[in-house]
């Protein structure tokens, strides 16, 4: 007996869901989210209790305009204490952990259905927005085999599966050797050359090149650099994006439009990739709303900073209805087009962690959550 296909799975089958009409996109998204809301309400007692405390019922969602009413869970709830499973524990194939300091890591349980959807969503997004989906990929990160439970490994793995040849250059036992990276990139036959990883390691490679003059000679017009994981150095300083771009242009001779950053979090089953204008595009599978840190039920106007709420219907094993403690701002509403010509909401380049007063909003939210769930 085969189960009828979910609406979200049909949505994932569309090769370029950015290019369907806005009306159709909203229709698909709303229907997918209604399905997800019904599933988690029925199978997740913790989330159902949160809904009950807010007098929310799945039937409250009748249209796209109602999606803002879905009760959300802070990403901090994934850092411990809460059982967020919407499927039997035996169905969990992988528990992904975020890269952060120990004790402060999210643990996100995924079943086979969620893993497959996550892969398709990443694949469609990378194909749409990366500079290139062919050639050689030099990843400045440990291989997924070495760190398969790290959420970021999923992204690297999917990106590498799309090219002809790739290597991972951060060895857990041997550290990072920039001379080996240059030597290997100069010896491969595949084009274009793609370089990826954490901004700090890409910068370390760039500085090595500028200091030694040992340059990469195989960069072509269509070569690209993609980074992810944030621009904070280990000492806590935030690297300015313009400084980062200029360093990369000097060291690699790469076009600025081909320097792209990715924003995501371990709780999401997709990623926001930059276009050539450095805006981060929200995948059509997510509903995004930006909230006032002082009042999480209040949406801020387009252009203003706030905490992002993502409604992610791809999550099957846990409710993908989350609020993150990052500060972002939407550049355009979902009905406008980006300078690159693609429709749908985009985030401005800068994403940072919530601090001080902004952070209090997330803290209050978790306290409230704990309160409701332990009653």
| CB of 307 closer than 8 Å to CB of 296 | yes
- Which DSSP string do the residues of 292-323 spell out, in sequence order? ETTEEEEEPPTTSEEEEEEE-TT-SSS--EEE
Number of residues that bind Zn ion (CB under 5 A): 4
Give whichever of 143 and 331 is closer to Zn ion, judged by the CB atom.
331
Rounded Cα gap, residues 306 and 296, in angstroms: 9
User: Applying CB under 5 A, which part among 17-25, 138-146, 270-278, 352-360 lies near Zn ion?
Assistant: 270-278
61 makes contact with Zn ion (CB under 5 A): no
User: Applying CB under 5 A, which part among 57-65, 109-117, 144-152, 268-276 lies near Zn ion?
Assistant: 268-276
Give whichever of 61 and 338 is closer to Zn ion, judged by the CB atom.
338
User: Applying CB under 5 A, which part among 61-69, 89-97, 263-271, 279-287 lies near Zn ion?
Assistant: 279-287
Rounded Cα gap, residues 30 and 28, in angstroms: 6
275 makes contact with Zn ion (CB under 5 A): yes
Contacts of 197 (CB under 8 A, 6+ apart): 139, 140, 141, 156, 169, 170, 227, 228
CB of 283 to Zn ion, least distance (A): 13
84 makes contact with Zn ion (CB under 5 A): no
Q: Which of 166, 279, 285, 321 binds Zn ion (CB under 5 A)?
A: 279
CB of 264 to Zn ion, least distance (A): 17
Nearest 5 degrees, angle CA 334-CA 269-CA 150?
140
Residues β-bridged to residue 2: none
Q: For residues 287-346, which are near Zn ion according to CB under 5 A?
A: 338, 340
272 makes contact with Zn ion (CB under 5 A): no
Give whichever of 163 and 340 is closer to Zn ion, judged by the CB atom.
340
**Cα dihedral 238/122/291/104 (nearest 10):** -60
Which residues of this chain interact with Zn ion, rule CB under 5 A?
A: 275, 279, 338, 340
């Amino acid at each position: 007996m085969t189960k009828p296909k979910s609406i979200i799975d049909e949505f994932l089958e569309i090769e370029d869901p950015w290019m369907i009409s806005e009306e159709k996109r909203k229709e698909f998204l709303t229907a997918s989210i209604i399905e997800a809301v019904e599933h988690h309400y029925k199978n997740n007692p913790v989330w159902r209790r949160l809904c009950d405390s807010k007098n929310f019922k799945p039937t409250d969602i009748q249209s796209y305009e109602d999606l803002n009413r879905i009760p959300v869970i802070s990403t901090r709830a994934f850092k411990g204490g809460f059982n967020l499973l919407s499927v039997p524990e035996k169905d969990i194939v992988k528990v992904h952990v975020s890269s952060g300091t120990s004790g402060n890591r999210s643990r996100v349980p995924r079943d086979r259905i969620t893993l497959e959807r996550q892969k398709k969503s990443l694949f469609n997004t990378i194909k749409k927005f990366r500079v290139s989906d062919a050639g050689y990929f030099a990843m400045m990160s440990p291989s997924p085999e070495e760190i398969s439970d790290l959420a970021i490994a999923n992204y690297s793995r999917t990106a590498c599966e799309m090219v002809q040849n790739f290597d991972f250059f951060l060895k857990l036992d041997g550290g990072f050797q920039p001379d080996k990276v240059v030597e290997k990139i100069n010896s491969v036959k595949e084009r274009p050359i793609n370089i990826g990883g954490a901004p700090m390691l890409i910068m370390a490679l760039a500085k090595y090149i500028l200091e030694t003059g040992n340059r990469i000679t195989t960069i072509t017009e269509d070569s690209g650099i993609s980074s992810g994981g944030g621009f904070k150095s280990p000492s806590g300083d935030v690297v300015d994006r313009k400084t980062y771009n200029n360093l990369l242009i000097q060291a690699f001779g790469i076009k600025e439009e081909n320097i792209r950053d990715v924003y995501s979090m371990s709780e999401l089953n997709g990623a926001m990739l930059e276009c050539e204008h450095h805006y981060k595009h929200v995948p059509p599978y997510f509903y995004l709303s930006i909230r006032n840190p002082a009042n999480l039920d209040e949406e801020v106007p387009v252009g203003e900073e706030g905490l992002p709420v993502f409604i992610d219907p791809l999550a099957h094993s846990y409710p993908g209805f989350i609020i993150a403690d990052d500060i972002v701002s939407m550049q355009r509403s979902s009905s406008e087009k980006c300078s690159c010509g693609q429709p749908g909401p985009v985030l401005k380049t800068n994403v940072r962690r919530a601090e001080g007063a902004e952070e209090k909003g997330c803290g209050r939210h978790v306290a409230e959550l704990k309160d409701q769930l332990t009653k």
